[in-house]
């Protein structure tokens, strides 16, 4: 089970304030970074047990402090609370010391909840917009400077471009040939995005990974409950949260879809998502609203160029299910980037019609 036996996982749980001595486990294998297990009492899921990938997140203490602080602010009748189950020492995580230390945390499981990888349902798109707005509004009270950058420059285009160029310089001729078209496309979009000024946008505490399957929905009411996967909760710009949501909501295909005809930009889903963003009242500035559509181009592109870079580097960052998965993801994400670019004026129109700036 992701290299961990039931016995080892139960052993880890003895270091947390959980109710029972033994549980069973079911791995959740969708993530590319951490190792995640559902902790079951019989058939009932009670907790989420997670090993935090410390190669990707090097400041585990800072990361857990971010989450701990954010949970204080994410306190609202319209926002489902998740809590961290403390370790027996009263910490928010447990360090399993050894030759190779590992870092573990336990969170409460929200009963009767579910997540969607993709959707065709405008109610889901609306709910996603509404909860993302709520999340950002609640975190306006957080002190951004108290938050560490869990991955410094995570969505920094210049950094990703530099990493891409290093990978290009080191990749085999064979891979460069295979990836020729994707490399050309990357350079075109980089040139385009260099002309876009986003430097003036305000820094907020954002989620930074608001893909649709990071939103929990109630199975009974179909309402969005809360956001999960808070490792990248740190300073950022709202258009990052906007773009990650758009790329996974208006595209009815998964992000590594190989049949590009299935990759869509569904206008109705976009409109529903924007209505959801407006549902808690105005919270964005005029500058944020005017540049918002760039998020829907920037974010799929950033993920695409990161996947392409990792392919060229030989899959050293993301967990891959097969050799060319990173390459397939980059092609798919670039295809969506193209489709979003083609919808620029549509996005601007819907945004301007539905979103008013605050004050
Ligand atoms: C990674 O492992 P997961 O799915 O939470 C990545 C996200 C991407 C996602 C899918 C720290 O997240 O930014 O949205 O893959 N997280 C990190 O592309 O790189
Ligand atoms: Mg994540």
Alpha-carbon span 207 to 181, nearest angstrom: 32
Residue 69 lies in a domain: yes
Alpha-carbon span 240 to 242, nearest angstrom: 5
- Written as six digits, the tokens of 274 are 């924007």
The pLDDT of residue 98: 86
Residue 359 lies in a domain: no
Q: Which of 209, 300, 330 to mutate to test the pocket of ligand 1 (most atoms within 8 A of CB)?
A: 209
Q: Which of 2, 31, 32 to mutate to test the pocket of ligand 1 (most atoms within 8 A of CB)?
A: 32
Domain final position from 111, 143, 168: 111
Alpha-carbon span 97 to 95, nearest angstrom: 6
Q: Residue 229 CA: which ligand 1 atom is closest?
A: 5
CATH number of domain containing 256: 3.90.1200.10
Domain final position from 111, 136, 163: 111
Q: Residue 32 CA: which ligand 1 atom is closest?
A: 2
Taking CA atoms, 231 is separated from 22, 52, 149, 282, 284, in Å, by: 27, 9, 10, 27, 24
Question: How far from chain centre, in Å, is Cα 324?
Answer: 22
Q: Residue 319 CA: which ligand 1 atom is closest?
A: 2
Q: Residue 244 CA: which ligand 1 atom is closest?
A: 14
Token pair 């005017």 in the structure block, residue: 290
Residue 68 Cα to ligand 2 middle (Å): 17
> Digits of tens for pLDDT over the chain (359 positions)?
467 899 999 999 999 999 888 999 999 988 889 999 999 999 999 999 999 999 999 999 999 999 999 999 999 999 999 999 999 999 999 999 988 999 999 999 999 999 999 999 999 999 999 999 999 999 999 999 999 999 999 999 999 999 999 999 999 999 999 999 999 999 999 999 999 999 999 999 999 999 999 999 999 999 999 999 999 999 999 999 999 999 999 999 999 999 999 999 999 999 999 999 999 999 999 999 999 999 999 999 999 999 999 999 999 999 999 999 999 999 999 999 999 999 999 999 999 999 999 97
Residue 310 Cα to ligand 1 middle (Å): 13
Residue 232 Cα to ligand 2 middle (Å): 7
The pLDDT of residue 252: 98
Three-class HEC string of the chain: CCCCCHHHHHHHHCCECCCCCCCEEEEECCCCCCEEEEEEECCEEEEEEEEECCCCCCCHHHHHHHHHHHHHHCCECCECCCCEECECCCCCCEEECCCCCEEEEEEECCCCEECCCCCCCHHHHHHHHHHHHHHHHHHHHCCHHHCCCCCCCCCCHHHHHHHHHHHHHHCCHHHHHHCHHHHHHHHHHHHHHHCCCCCCCCCEEECCCCCHHHEEEECCCCCEEEECCHHHCEEECHHHHHHHHHHHHCCCCCCCCCCHHHCCCCHHHHHHHHHHHHCCCCCCCHHHHHHHHHHHHHHHHHHHHHHHHHHHHCCCCCCCCCCCHHHHHHHHHHHHHHHHHHCHHHHHHHHHHHCCCCC
Residue 9 Cα to ligand 1 middle (Å): 24
Closest ligand to 240 CA?
1
Cβ < 6 A, ligand 1 pocket:
31-33, 56, 151, 209, 211, 229, 232, 255, 303
Nearest protein CA to atom 9 of ligand 1, as residue:
32
Closest ligand to 28 CA?
1
Residue 174 Cα to ligand 2 middle (Å): 31
Residue 324 lies in a domain: yes
Q: Are 85 and 144 contained in the same domain?
A: no
Closest ligand to 303 CA?
1
Instruction: Give phi and psi for 38, each to the nearest 5.
Output: -85, 130
Closest ligand to 213 CA?
1
Q: Which domain holds residue 298?
A: 122-354
Closest ligand to 36 CA?
1
Q: Are 307 and 220 contained in the same domain?
A: yes
The pLDDT of residue 3: 78
Domain final position from 66, 92, 111: 111
- Asked whether this complex has an ipTM greater than 0.90, the answer is yes
| Number of other CB atoms surrounding residue 24 within 10 Å | 14
Residue 21 Cα to ligand 1 middle (Å): 32
Q: Residue 213 CA: which ligand 1 atom is closest?
A: 4
Alpha-carbon span 233 to 76, nearest angstrom: 18
Ramachandran assignment for 75, one of left (phi > 0), alpha (psi -120 to 50 degrees), beta (any other): beta
Q: At what angle do helices 344-354 and 325-342 cross, to 10 degrees?
A: 70
Q: Are 244 and 338 contained in the same domain?
A: yes
Nearest protein CA to atom 10 of ligand 1, as residue:
32
Residue 345 Cα to ligand 2 middle (Å): 31
Token pair 């980089």 in the structure block, residue: 190
The pLDDT of residue 20: 87
| Number of other CB atoms surrounding residue 133 within 10 Å | 23
CATH number of domain containing 107: 3.30.200.20
* Burial group, residue 359, by CB count within 10 angstroms (0-12, 13-18, 19+): exposed
Taking CA atoms, 117 is separated from 250, 274, 327, in Å, by: 12, 19, 20
How many structural domains is the chain composed of? 2
What's the whole-model pTM score?
Answer: 0.96
Is residue 92 a contact partner of residue 52, using CB atoms and an 8 Å limit? Answer: no
The pLDDT of residue 31: 86
Nearest protein CA to atom 16 of ligand 1, as residue:
33
Q: Are 232 and 154 contained in the same domain?
A: yes
Residue 1 lies in a domain: no
The pLDDT of residue 2: 61
């Amino acid at each position: 089970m992701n290299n961990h036996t039931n016995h080892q996982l139960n052993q880890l749980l003895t270091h947390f304030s959980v109710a029972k001595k033994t549980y069973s486990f079911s791995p959740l294998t969708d993530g590319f970074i951490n190792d995640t297990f559902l902790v079951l009492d019989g058939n009932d899921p009670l907790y989420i047990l997670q090993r935090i990938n410390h190669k990707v997140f090097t400041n585990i203490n800072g990361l857990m402090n971010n989450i701990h602080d954010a949970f204080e602010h994410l306190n609202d009748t319209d926002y489902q609370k998740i809590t961290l189950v403390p370790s027996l020492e009263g910490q928010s995580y447990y360090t399993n010391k050894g030759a190779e230390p590992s870092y573990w945390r336990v969170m409460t499981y929200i009963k009767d909840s579910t997540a969607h990888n993709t959707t065709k349902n405008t109610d889901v798109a609306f709910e996603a917009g509404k909860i993302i707005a709520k999340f950002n509004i609640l975190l306006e009270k957080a002190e951004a400077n108290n938050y560490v950058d869990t991955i410094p420059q995570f969505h920094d285009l210049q950094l990703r471009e530099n990493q891409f160029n290093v990978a290009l310089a080191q990749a085999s001729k064979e891979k460069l040939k295979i990836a020729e078209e994707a490399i050309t496309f990357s350079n075109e979009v980089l040139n385009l995005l260099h002309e876009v000024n986003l430097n003036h946008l305000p820094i907020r505490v954002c989620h930074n990974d608001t893909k649709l399957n990071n939103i929990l929905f109630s199975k009974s009411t179909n309402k969005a409950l809360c956001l999960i996967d808070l490792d990248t909760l740190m300073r950022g710009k709202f258009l990052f949260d906007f773009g990650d949501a758009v790329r996974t909501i208006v595209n009815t295909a998964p992000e590594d879809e190989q049949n590009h005809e299935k990759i869509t930009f569904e206008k109705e889903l976009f409109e529903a998502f924007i209505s959801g963003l407006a549902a808690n009242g105005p919270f964005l500035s005029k500058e944020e609203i005017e540049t918002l559509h760039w998020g829907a181009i920037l974010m799929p592109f950033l993920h695409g160029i990161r996947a392409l870079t990792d392919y060229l580097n030989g899959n050293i960052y993301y967990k891959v299910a097969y050799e060319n998965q990173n390459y397939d993801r980059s092609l798919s994400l670039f295809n969506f980037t193209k489709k979003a670019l083609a919808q620029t004026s549509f996005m601007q129109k819907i945004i301007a019609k539905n979103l008013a700036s605050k004050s």
